[in-house]
Homo-oligomer: A and B are copies of this chain.
C-alpha cells in the first residue's frame, strides 16, 4: 500500500490543539479538594498508579509509561505533608518537565525483585497518621497501573495501617470538571464534529466500513487531536448489529443502508464520546422515522440536563419520548453517562442512578432504539452542566442524518 501523497500540514509551535499544561493553581485546587475528601473519608494518605489518576493529581504526562507495563509509576499523596512521585529513575527528567510535584523517590528499574514497593512502604510508614487508613485504587470502574501482587505485598508491609479504597475520593474529585478541563473536551468534540462533517465528501457506496473508519481517523487527526483510540463503524439496513464491543468489521456500504460510527477521540488526556449516522443515498422511511424519534429523545434528554436533576432523570426524559411513541424499552441498559479522562465515567443515565447533576459535570445523552433482531440505532451528544442548565459540547446531529453518495 502506498503512502498518502499529501504531506501532513506543519504544526505550528502552538496549534489550536496544543494547550498549555494545567496551571499550578488548578493542581493546588485538586490537591486541596483531595485532602478535604481524605479527611472526610478518614484516609491518611493515598497512592495512585493508574494513568487517569496519576495524570489528574500529578500532571505527569507520558505516552510511554501506559504502553510499557515493565515499570509502574506512582503518585503518593499524604493528607498532611509532602506529595511524592515514586517512579523509575530514568523517568525523572520527564516527570520534572510535566509535574508540579518536584519531590521524587526513584529506583533503577527494571529491578524485578523490588519495583518500588520498599520506597512506597517507607513513605506510608513515615506519613502522619490520624486514622490508620491508607487509600489505594480498589473500587468500581478502577484499573491499577501496577501488578496486584505488589499491591498485596504493600498491604502486608504497611500493617497495622489498613489498606482501604480511594476510588470514592477520586470519583468525587473528577466528577466536576474545571473550565480548563471542559475546554479540552470541547476542543476534541469539535474536532470530531468537523471530521464527521466532511465524511460525505470522502466515502460512499462501495467503500468499506474500514475505509469509513480510516477516513474519519485521518480527518480527526488532521484537526489536531492526539489520537482516536476508539472508532467503531457499522452498516446495515435500517439499523446495525449491536457490535460496539467487538472486532472492527469491513463490510462494503450499500445503497439504502445506514452507516453508524461511534468514536472516542482523545486529546491531552480528555475524551469525547459520540456517534454520527449516515444513510447511503436516501434513507428508508423506517430509518427516517427512527432517526426522528431518536432526535426528539435526544432533545428531551438535553432539555432535562440542568443542576439538580439526577442521572436517572436524564434516562427517563429520553425514555419517555420513546415509550410515548409506543416503543417497549426492554433491557436497554443506559442512555448515556459521564465523560472526561475516561471514555465512560460515572454516573450512568439509568434507573436507580440518583447522582445529582451539578455545574461542571460533562455528560453524554445517548438514546437507542432496537430495530428488530440484534439491530439498533443510536444518537449521542455531549454537553456540560452549567449554572443555568447546560452548554452543548457537540454540534447536534441534524434531525435528518447526512447522506453519503450512493
Contact = CB atoms under 8 A, between A and B. Distances in A.
A94 B142 contact: no
Identical chains bound together, number = 2
A97 B138 contact: no
B143 A69 contact: yes
B137 A142 contact: no
Interface stretch (A1-9, A316-324, A382-390, A393-401): A1-9
Interface string A117-137: 000000000000000000011
A13 B252 contact: yes
A64 B208 contact: no
A49 to B, nearest CB: 9
A93 B61 contact: no
Contacts of A136: 148
Interface in A234-282: 241-250, 252, 264, 271
B142 A138 contact: no
Given A143-B144, A149-B139, A88 B245 contact: yes
A343 interface: yes
A189 B282 CA distance: 43
Contacts of A331: 89, 108
A17 B4 contact: no
A147 B151 contact: no
Contacts of A242: 90, 93
A3 B333 contact: no
Interface in A13-53: 13, 15-18, 21
Interface residues of A, number: 107
Interface in A198-248: 198, 202, 207-208, 210-211, 214-215, 217-219, 221-224, 227, 229-232, 241-248
A308 interface: no
Interface of A: 1-13, 15-18, 21, 61-65, 67-70, 73, 87-91, 93-95, 97-98, 108-110, 112, 115, 136-149, 151-152, 165, 167, 194-195, 198, 202, 207-208, 210-211, 214-215, 217-219, 221-224, 227, 229-232, 241-250, 252, 264, 271, 331, 333-334, 337, 342-345, 348, 350, 374
Lowest 6 A-B CB distances belong to which pairs? A94-B246, A6-B6, A138-B149, A91-B245, A61-B247, A4-B222
11 contacts: A1-B15, A5-B6, A11-B210, A11-B211, A94-B247, A95-B245, A95-B246, A97-B243, A142-B147, A142-B148, A148-B148
